[in-house]
C-alpha cells in the first residue's frame, strides 16, 4: 500500500529530485534508499561494467537504453569487486538473463550487493530534465510495501552536497599495493597472464577499472598498483619505467590535494613517461597548471566521437565524466591532442616535449573503429625509447 497523495497504487520505488519532481516505478535489487547525483548513460550494452566502474561512486545512473538484465551478470566482467554506482534507473523492468556466460541475474546481484534499481521510469523525460537543468541531486527509495515519505526523500536529495569539491578517490582506492598481470580477454582462452613483461609501471589507483590494468599488462607492462595517497617517494621506490594515473570518481580538484602534488613531483624530478585516463587525465592537467570545470550533465556513453588532433582521425569512444579539463587554461608547453566532436570539450593533452599525455575517454572500453590499444602501446614505446 502506498501512503501520501499521488503515489501510484503499485509503486514500489520512488525517485525524488531535489527540485521536488517525483518519479514512481517498480523497485528491484536492494531495499532502502540512497542519495547521489543523477546522471544518464546512453550505452546499449555494458550495464554491469557501468555499475562496477568506480568512477560512478556518488552517482545514480539512468540507462537511456531500455533493455537491461538480458546478459545477466558474469564475475569476469566486473570492473571492480562490487557495484559502486549508488543505483540504477531504467525504463523497463530487467529481463531474465539469456546468455551462456551469465552466472547470476542482475536483480539478485544488486540485492546481495546492496544496490537499488527502479524500472518503469519515463527515462526520456528524465534524460531531458537532466540535459536541461544539469545533473540533479536525487534520492532513490525501494520499498516492496510502497510506503514513501516523499517530502523526506526530496529533503534528502536537497541536502546532498553534490560532487563538486568531493574527494571520492580515497573511498574507492585499494588499501594496499598489489601486482597485476592479467591481460585483455580473448577468444577462446579468456584472460591470460603477462609472462614476459618489458616495462615496470606503477599504476596509481584512484578507482581503477580492471580492464585498464589489463590493457597495461597486454601492452607489456609489469604493473604494480599503488593506493591513491601514495607519495612520489612511494612511487619511485618501485623504480618504475613509467607512471600510470587511473580513472576515478569525484571532483579532480578535490582529489588533487594529494595526487596533484605527487604528479608534479614526478614531472619535476624525473623524466619518466606518464599516461593518464579520465580522472588521471584531469589531475595531470591540474598538475601541469590547467584547470577543470564541472559540466552540465557530462558525457556518459559508448559512442562518443573524439578527434585526435595530431592525426585527424576520429575515434568512437566510451565516456564517463562529469568534469572536464578547460582547454583555455592549458599553459604553454601543454598541447590539446583530442576534442569531443559533440561539444568541443577537451579530451586529451600532452606535453610538447615529453611522453607525458592523457585522455578523457576510456580507450579500454571504446568500441572502435580504431584499436584503442594504441594509447597503451604509445606508453610502452615511450618506455622502450628510454631503455
Ligand X SMILES: NC(=O)CC[C@H](N)C(=O)O
Tell me how far, at minimum, the Cβ of 151 lies from ligand X, in Å. Answer: 30
CA dist., res. 44 & res. 169, Å (int): 27
Tell me how far, at minimum, the Cβ of 258 lies from ligand X, in Å. Answer: 15
55 binding ligand X? (CB under 6 A): yes
What Rg, from alpha-carbon coordinates, does the chain have? 21
376 binding ligand X? (CB under 6 A): no
Tell me how far, at minimum, the Cβ of 85 lies from ligand X, in Å. Answer: 12
276 binding ligand X? (CB under 6 A): no
Segment contacting ligand X by CB under 6 A, of 1-9, 10-18, 29-37, 243-251: 243-251
345 binding ligand X? (CB under 6 A): no
363 binding ligand X? (CB under 6 A): no
323 binding ligand X? (CB under 6 A): yes
Member of 26, 199, 321, 338 binding ligand X (CB under 6 A): 321
Strands (E), the chain: 13-17, 22-29, 32-41, 59-63, 87-89, 116-119, 137-142, 178-180, 199-205, 221-227, 242-245, 274-277, 292-308, 314-325, 334-340, 346-351, 356-359
CA dist., res. 365 & res. 209, Å (int): 10
Member of 218, 247, 318, 345 binding ligand X (CB under 6 A): 247
35 binding ligand X? (CB under 6 A): no
Query: Is 282 annotated among the ligand-binding residues?
Result: yes
Nearer to ligand X, 124 or 131 (CB): 131
* C-alpha grid cell, residue 131: 540535459
Q: Which residue is nearest to ligand X (CB)?
A: 278
Nearer to ligand X, 211 or 320 (CB): 320
Nearer to ligand X, 33 or 315 (CB): 315
Strands lying side by side in the sheet with 356-359: 178-180, 221-227, 199-205, 242-245, 274-277, 356-359, 346-351, 334-340, 292-308, 314-325
Nearer to ligand X, 14 or 135 (CB): 135
Segment contacting ligand X by CB under 6 A, of 136-144, 241-249, 267-275, 378-386: 241-249
Q: Specify whether the CB–CB gap between 13 and 118 falls below 8 A.
A: yes
CA dist., res. 363 & res. 316, Å (int): 9
* C-alpha grid cell, residue 4: 501520501
Nearer to ligand X, 205 or 241 (CB): 205
Q: Which residues pair with 190 in a beta bridge?
A: 186
Give phi and psi for 138, each to the nearest 5: -145, 150
Tell me how far, at minimum, the Cβ of 341 lies from ligand X, in Å. Answer: 18
Q: Which residues pair with 339 in a beta bridge?
A: 307, 346
- Give the chain's length: 387
> Hey, how many other C-beta atoms are within 10 angstroms of the C-beta on 32?
12
Q: Binding site for L-glutamine, residues?
A: 55, 248, 250, 279, 282, 320, 322-323
Which parts are annotated binding residues?
55, 248, 250, 279, 282, 320, 322-323
Binding site for ligand X (CB under 6 A): 55, 247-250, 278-279, 320-323
Amino acid at each position: 500500500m502506498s501512503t501520501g497523495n499521488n503515489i501510484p497504487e503499485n509503486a514500489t520505488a520512488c525517485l525524488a529530485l531535489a527540485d521536488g519532481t517525483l518519479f514512481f516505478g517498480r523497485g528491484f535489487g536492494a531495499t532502502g534508499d540512497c542519495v547521489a547525483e543523477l546522471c544518464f548513460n546512453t550505452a546499449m550494452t555494458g550495464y554491469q561494467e557501468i555499475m562496477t566502474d568506480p568512477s560512478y561512486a556518488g552517482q545514480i545512473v539512468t540507462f537511456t537504453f531500455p533493455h537491461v538484465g538480458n546478459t545477466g551478470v558474469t564475475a569476469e566482467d566486473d570492473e571492480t569487486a562490487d557495484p559502486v554506482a549508488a543505483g540504477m534507473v531504467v525504463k523497463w523492468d530487467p529481463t531474465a538473463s539469456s546468455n551462456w556466460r551469465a552466472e547470476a541475474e542482475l536483480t539478485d546481484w544488486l540485492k546481495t550487493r546492496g544496490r537499488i534499481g527502479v524500472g518503469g521510469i519515463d527515462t526520456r523525460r528524465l534524460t531531458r530534465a537532466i540535459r536541461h537543468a544539469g545533473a540533479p541531486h536525487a534520492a532513490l527509495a525501494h520499498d516492496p510495501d510502497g510506503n514513501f515519505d516523499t517530502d523526506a526523500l526530496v529533503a534528502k536529495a536537497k541536502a546532498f552536497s553534490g560532487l563538486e569539491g568531493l574527494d571520492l578517490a580515497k573511498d574507492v582506492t585499494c588499501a594496499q599495493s598489489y601486482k597485476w598481470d592479467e591481460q585483455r580477454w580473448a577468444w577462446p582462452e579468456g584472460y591470460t597472464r603477462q609472462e614476459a613483461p618489458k616495462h615496470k609501471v606503477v599504476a596509481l589507483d584512484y578507482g581503477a577499472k580492471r580492464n585498464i590494468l589489463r590493457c597495461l599488462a597486454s601492452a607489456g607492462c609489469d604493473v604494480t598498483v599503488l593506493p591513491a595517497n601514495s607519495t612520489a617517494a612511494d612511487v619511485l621506490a618501485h623504480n618504475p619505467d613509467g607512471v600510470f594515473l587511473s580513472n576515478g570518481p569525484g571532483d579532480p580538484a578535490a582529489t588533487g590535494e594529494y595526487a596533484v602534488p605527487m604528479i608534479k613531483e614526478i614531472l619535476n624530478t624525473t623524466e619518466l613517461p606518464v599516461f593518464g585516463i579520465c580522472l588521471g587525465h584531469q589531475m595531470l592537467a591540474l598538475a601541469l597548471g590547467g584547470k577543470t570545470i564541472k559540466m552540465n550533465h557530462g558525457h556518459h556513453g559508448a559512442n562518443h566521437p573524439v578527434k585526435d588532433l595530431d592525426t585527424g582521425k576520429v575515434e568512437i569512444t566510451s565516456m564517463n565524466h562529469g568534469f572536464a579539463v578547460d582547454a583555455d587554461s592549458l599553459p604553454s608547453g601543454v598541447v590539446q591532442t583530442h576534442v569531443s566532436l559533440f561539444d568541443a570539450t577537451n579530451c586529451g593533452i600532452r606535453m610538447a616535449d615529453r611522453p607525458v599525455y592523457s585522455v578523457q575517454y576510456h580507450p579500454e572500453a571504446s568500441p572502435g573503429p580504431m584499436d584503442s590499444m594504441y594509447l597503451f602501446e604509445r606508453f610502452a614505446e615511450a618506455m622502450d625509447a628510454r631503455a
